Amino acid sequence: MEKSKERLEILSKIEMLEKTKQWDISPENDPETIELKPNKVDYLNKKISSKIASYFANIMGARYFDKMLKNKQMIIENVLGIENYLAVKGGAIITCNHFHPCDNYAVYQAIKPYLNGRRLYKVIREGNYTNYPNPIGFFFRHCNTLPLSSNMETMKKFMSAVSVLLNRGEKILVYPEQALWWNYKKPRPCKSGAFRFAVTNNVPVIPMFITMRDSDIVDPDGFFVQKYTINILPPIYPKKDLDKKQNIEYLKNKNYELCVHTYEDFYKTKLTYQD
């Protein structure tokens, strides 16, 4: 089967971005970002209309993604380290490598039996919330998502919502690499945002790193569907003897270190980047 020219172009862009160390730049043809105004988002689902939309979006989303799993468009082969997730009883930031538009559902499936009726909240980019085509766009807007914004007033609402959710014991998934690099297997250096949320609210980070290998199934773009192993790594806690800036750096560096170790252990190769 001939491989998709669009996917090949994106893989070429990823190779270029790795060589130039532009770790947080998206190679995808993302929809144009429309500014998210404060009155266009209800982070905590306080409105009746938001509650209704969220209810139906979660039902529809579960059906959509469960169908992907059933049809082997997404394959979860293993979940390792669930004891690390269970060790954290309260709110936490979950981090994960970002390589597929639906990798958040793989994370959700890994911890779903242990959420005890709670939802997994996901931080998403502004354009995915304001301008992504349906049906995924509908899920982005209503499936327990926390969109970032270029509007400062909206970001104040965002930060307040993050604090409320963490303080009531929720788990929030953040992609610290920021950009989606399709089927990219290596860990990338992280941005600080996820770790700032953790330090500001004095909650731990639960790093996850998804490793993958080819299945024998070819997707519509001509590439092998990947089999995922979801590695849940030991939680990282802010240190009392460090100030806020130092703690952010500590969490960020430790998160990357754990992901590198997992990568090298799974793929049996030392992590190197192209020059």
Output the pLDDT for position 137. Answer: 86
The candidate with the shortest Cα–Cα distance to 43, out of 134, 153, 201, 179, is 153
Output the pLDDT for position 132. Answer: 84
Provide the whole-model pTM: 0.95
Sorted by where each starts, the structural domains of the chain and their CATH numbers stand as 5-14+34-267 (3.40.1130)
C-alpha span between 96 and 178 (Å, rounded): 10
Average pLDDT, whole number, for the chain?
96
C-alpha span between 152 and 36 (Å, rounded): 10
Output the pLDDT for position 202. Answer: 98
Output the pLDDT for position 63. Answer: 93
pLDDT surpasses 90 at 212: yes
Each residue's pLDDT tens digit, 90-149: 999 999 999 999 999 999 999 999 999 899 999 999 998 998 888 788 888 999 999 999
